Structure 1
Amino acid sequence: MPTSRAIGAYQKHATDPVEERVNNFAPLVKKLAYHLVARLPASVEVDDLIQAGLIGLMDAARNFDPTAGVLFETYATQRIRGAMLDELREADWLPRQLRRSMRDIEAALVKLEHKLGRAANESEVADAMNLPLADYQELLADCRGHQLIYYDDHDSEDDSRSALDSMAADHKSDPLNEIDDNAFRQVLIDGIANLPEREKMVMALYYEQELNLKEIGAVLNVSESRVCQLHSQAVARLRVKLRDWTQK
């Protein structure tokens, strides 16, 4: 009869499929968290998303059915992202002040574009909003994560939930995947093509190459915070273009 010590040694070295899945796919949680947090206000901590995602991963590892004909990575990705979105719903992640701030930026961009006949730079937008440049850039950072598509432009008493539900419906949380109308898509493509060069590069690296803000910063040799500012401003410019198109 095997001793308790022998049994313990066997259990220690035996392969636990649940533990193995968690260990192998833990890096996926971090990747998804960093990609999601870039779409959220600066008040959202990436560590909170990672913690929620790990719970989702453990749940996926325990409940995965290898005979279901689905890859574990596909199944786990859905469960991880779902756990993160549940955490965000409970935290009320999208304050109304953020939406008001972004709309103020968009209004300033509209006036300046009509006045100048070109894309306004940050200093010009800051002046139009009667803000020091540093304060305007801080506002851009706070507006991180404002959606490209008009999730929050509908009159709803629960804007945060509608935005999150839209993100959950799209398994990649990628606004570009929400666009089916060819004319709408063309307006967006034209809008991106007309962005200032650095903002255009940020959008390409983020949505096409799926790099996170830290990785984009390394490519552009700027800080993650600076990439966040450029992304928010690019989104504001594109929202102006899309709004003009929808009102025609």
Structure 2
Amino acid sequence: MYNPQGRLDRDGLIRQYVPLVQRLAHHMIAKLPANVELDDLIQAGMIGLADALSRYEASQGVQFETFATQRIRGAMLDELRDGDWLSRGSRKSQKEIEKALHKLEHQLGRSPAESEIASELNMPLAEYQSLLSRVRGTQLVYLEDIGAGHGEDDDGFLDRHVADTEADPLSVLKDQRLRQALVAAIEGLPERERYIMGMYYEQDMNLKEIAAVLGITESRVCQLHSQSIARLRAKMRSH
């Protein structure tokens, strides 16, 4: 899009891609705690869009929308990380759940039941299920992100979105192996959790829609989704 002077019409392009920013923000906010403001994500996304306009070169062989999506999402994730959007308590709880899952997987040779996970954490089942609801904020996860971080306080799965888009061949190969391992991990989930992951990520259904399909409450879907992500992250620690 160019202006009458033959220069790139930045204002026109920004107006054209505002709906993309809004769509990405709405999709992301659905996975975040209630304290995160949609307007904050949109504002950060607009900064990402402006950055994309300044950096984009058609000679790279990538469509602008694809390039812009990466920059917009990266700017939103930067905003979340800089804003300390997830409490230390929630991070700690998520780590404890993953640690319990990893231990039980090895002991039992299968995916542990909720009651077994609760027992390992030394808490009643109802308390464990409530904890799953509270750690939902850790579930800002797109399938390609799982397994990216391994440190105790590592936010590597966020950093992947803001990394340089030019990957070396070794990184590409590693990413392919990670994806293959992730597919295998998803297939190993308990049946109902596998259905939830498919509906949520592949069919882009929201929690309310999934609840209606499965005949359970929306809060229960949220719990099972959190548990599924914890299972996957526990499995992917070695990749």
- The share of aligned pairs that are identical, in percent, is 53
Q: So what's the TM-score if we normalise by structure 1?
A: 0.64
- After TM superposition, give the deviation of residue 233 of structure 1 in Å: 0.9
Which of 150, 166, 180 lines up with 2:160 in the alignment?
166
The more displaced of 144-153 and 65-74 is: 65-74
What residue identity is the alignment partner of 1:107?
A: K
Where in structure 2 are there 5+ consecutive unaligned residues?
1-8, 166-171
Match of 1:242 in 2: 236
- After TM superposition, give the deviation of residue 29 of structure 1 in Å: 2.4
Flag the 1:26–1:221 CA change in 2: closer, same or farther, 3 A: farther
2:177 is the counterpart of 1:149: no
Match of 2:182 in 1: 188
- After TM superposition, give the deviation of residue 114 of structure 1 in Å: 5.2
The correspondence of residues 39-188 of structure 1 with structure 2, limited to 5 A, is 40=32, 43-57=35-49, 59=50, 71-113=63-105, 118-144=110-136, 145-146=138-139, 149-154=146-151, 159-160=154-155, 162-169=156-163, 180-182=175-177, 184-188=178-182
- After TM superposition, give the deviation of residue 195 of structure 1 in Å: 0.9
Flag the 1:48–1:222 CA change in 2: closer, same or farther, 3 A: farther
Flag the 1:74–1:42 CA change in 2: closer, same or farther, 3 A: same
Q: Is the 8 A contact 1:42 1:143 kept in 2?
A: no
Distance, in Å, in 1 between the alignment partners of 2:211 and 2:11 is 34
Flag the 1:75–1:163 CA change in 2: closer, same or farther, 3 A: closer
Flag the 1:108–1:71 CA change in 2: closer, same or farther, 3 A: closer
The size of the alignment, in residue pairs, is 219
Q: Is the 8 A contact 1:18 1:61 kept in 2?
A: no
What residue identity is the alignment partner of 2:236?
A: L
Q: Is the 8 A contact 2:196 2:221 kept in 1?
A: yes
- Give the aligned CA root-mean-square deviation in angstroms: 4.0
Secondary structure at the residue paired with 1:143? helix
Flag the 1:73–1:137 CA change in 2: closer, same or farther, 3 A: same
Distance, in Å, in 2 between the alignment partners of 1:126 and 1:79 is 40
Distance, in Å, in 2 between the alignment partners of 1:232 and 1:141 is 7
Where in structure 1 are there 5+ consecutive unaligned residues?
1-16, 172-176
Q: So what's the TM-score if we normalise by structure 2?
A: 0.66
Secondary structure at the residue paired with 2:175? coil
Flag the 1:223–1:46 CA change in 2: closer, same or farther, 3 A: farther
